[in-house]
């Protein structure tokens, strides 16, 4: 049986949700995470300003976080619905 599950409990920060989603990919779908790292090599060096990416300190465009979320969704494992990232998995896995 297929189960849909939220993978982040961070309701106030899409940026933190993106990090949670990347961590999920890195743990359970490492090939997809590796592809994201090729496109977003800044992931291991994220700098924060409270609950948001500090894009100025990172030296990236201020839309970087939005592009990261889009790329995570394009990997086909995680999607955002009603402001939360979700994934599907088979019961028992």
Q: What is the pLDDT of residue 92?
A: 58
- pLDDT tens over the chain, length 93 residues: 788 999 987 777 999 999 999 999 999 999 999 999 999 999 999 999 999 999 999 999 999 999 999 999 999 999 999 889 999 877 655
- Residue 88, classed as helix, strand or coil, is strand
Nearby residues of 37 by Cβ (< 8 Å), 6 or more positions away: 43, 44
Pairing status of strand 52-53 against strand 78-81: unpaired
**Residue 49 vs residues 4, 16, 37, 61: alpha-carbon distances, Å:** 31, 11, 22, 15
- Among 51, 50, 49, smallest CA distance to 18 is for 51
pLDDT at 91: 63
Question: Each residue of 15-36: pLDDT tens digit?
Answer: 999 999 999 999 999 999 999 9
């Amino acid at each position: 049986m297929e189960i849909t599950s939220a993978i982040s409990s961070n309701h106030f920060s899409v940026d933190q949700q993106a990090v949670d989603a990347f961590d999920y990919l890195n743990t359970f779908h490492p090939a997809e995470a590796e592809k994201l790292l090729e496109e977003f090599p800044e992931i291991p060096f994220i700098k924060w300003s409270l609950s948001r990416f500090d894009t100025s300190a990172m030296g990236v465009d201020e839309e970087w976080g939005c592009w990261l979320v889009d790329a995570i969704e394009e990997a086909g494992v995680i999607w955002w619905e009603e402001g939360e990232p979700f994934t599907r998995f088979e019961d028992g896995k």
